Amino acid sequence: MATIKDIAIKSKVSPATVSRVLNNDQSLSVAEDTRQRILEVAKSLDYTTIRSRKKQIEEKASTYKFGIFLCQSIEEELSDPYFLSIRQGVERQCREIGVETVEIYRIHNQLSQLNDELDGLIVIGKIHTEVVEQLKQKIKHFIYVDYSPDEYHFDSVVIDFEKATNLALDHLFNLGYQKIGYIGGLQAEHSKNKQTRHFSDGRHKAFNEKMKKMEINASEHTYIGDFTMSEGYRLMKEAILKGELPDAFFIASDPMAVGALRALQEENIKVPDEVAIVSFDNVEMAKFASCPLTTIHVPTETMGRTGVKLLMDRLDGRELPLKVVVPTKLVIRESCGSHIK
């Protein structure tokens, strides 16, 4: 694609002049023949300005109708801001590019109501292959966010749970903690008729692998439940009753970590002085917890926005499926104890 620099060379003027002419800068004083020469060169090179390209995208997008397919109930979505943030990213990106109609469906009660006139569908969460096949019969283009069922056939936006988990664990080990526990949940793959299949979470797998390499018994301080605040509370209470708490915990979600903090406070166990915590997600509550949480930041809104961009790209004619792995990063706050080490 031609650039402003290409046009400037052919027109024998500066790139700045080219930019101002193409963007119809009325304050620019330039000879009319020079202006025409720039416009003719730009036309011969098939150049369009960013503003024009954006307008074309918005005009095209305004004719589209997208759907969001959620694997979580309203209650589940509200209890775990992770998925809510992804959905909000989808909705905001749609609004910004002019997609006026976004229909929301939930797997447990609206699969049969899916509008087969949708131009595309963004699936948030993990769904069984039988649901995938049912979707394919109605919708040609769909994008997965937080799940990649088949990277050779479907576009997806995911994070690298192994890399993110190691980032958290390496931070704790570098601070000198040797005995590290794990609190987390099981992943759920949703199917029709409110059926779910539970399986080991990527963070749990990565934790076990890391502990194995370090020759540490991972099972001794591992507690598995649901990804909720109440379960984080219950599992930490279980760990406290067992006795001999580890030096630190890696907790697989911020809501679980907030519940765990409450359990520790009720037993007068100080964080991070007696037990350090690193959690996962970096949802808004993390920085407002009773002890602000060191956590892995997952750019959930960006994941949702990227899903929309992939869908637009598909509708524009791309055939090769893409799997986008969004990077995570460690956000250091008080709960890990780095300020007292």
Q: Which two tokens stand for residue 310?
A: 């992939």
Using an 8 Å Cβ cutoff, are 104 and 67 in contact? yes
Spatial distance between the Cα atoms of 294 and 286, rounded to a whole number of angstroms: 8
Number of CB atoms found within 10 A of residue 113's CB: 9
| All domains of the chain in start order, with CATH | 4-47 (1.10.260), 64-159+301-326 (3.40.50.2300), 161-298 (3.40.50.2300)
Spatial distance between the Cα atoms of 228 and 230, rounded to a whole number of angstroms: 5
Residue 59 pLDDT class (50, 70, 90 cuts):
low
Q: Which two tokens stand for residue 46?
A: 């098939």
253 pLDDT higher than 60 = yes
Tell me the average pLDDT across 1-15.
Answer: 83
Beta bridge partners of 323: 156
Spatial distance between the Cα atoms of 310 and 325, rounded to a whole number of angstroms: 13
Residue 327 pLDDT class (50, 70, 90 cuts):
very high
61 pLDDT higher than 60 = no
Using an 8 Å Cβ cutoff, are 119 and 97 in contact? no
* Window from 133-137, 281-285, 323-327 with minimum mean pLDDT: 133-137
Residue 43 pLDDT class (50, 70, 90 cuts):
confident
Q: Which two tokens stand for residue 251?
A: 């907790």
Tell me the average pLDDT across 257-264.
Answer: 98
* Single-letter code of the amino acid located at 223: Y
Percent of the chain clearing pLDDT 70 (strictly above): 91
Q: Which two tokens stand for residue 275?
A: 């037990």
233 pLDDT higher than 90 = yes
Q: What is the DSSP string of 222-249?
A: EEEE-SSHHHHHHHHHHHHHH----SEE
53 pLDDT higher than 60 = no
55 pLDDT higher than 60 = no
Tell me the average pLDDT across 43-70.
Answer: 69
pLDDT digits (tens, 9 = 90+) for 276-302: 999 999 999 999 999 999 999 999 999
pTM, two decimals, is 0.80
111 pLDDT higher than 80 = no
Residue 1 pLDDT class (50, 70, 90 cuts):
low
Q: Which pLDDT score is estimated for 50?
A: 60
Which of 304, 242, 295, 230 has its CA nearest to residue 267? 242
Helix (H, G, I), strand (E, B) or coil at 121: strand
pLDDT digits (tens, 9 = 90+) for 188-208: 776 666 667 777 899 999 999
Average pLDDT, the chain: 88
- Looking at per-residue pLDDT, the higher value among 252 and 74 belongs to 252
Q: Which pLDDT score is estimated for 117?
A: 83
Tell me the average pLDDT across 62-90.
Answer: 85
255 pLDDT higher than 60 = yes
131 pLDDT higher than 90 = no
Using an 8 Å Cβ cutoff, are 72 and 44 in contact? no
Tell me the average pLDDT across 70-90.
Answer: 85
Spatial distance between the Cα atoms of 287 and 233, rounded to a whole number of angstroms: 18
Pairing of strands 294-297, 329-331: antiparallel
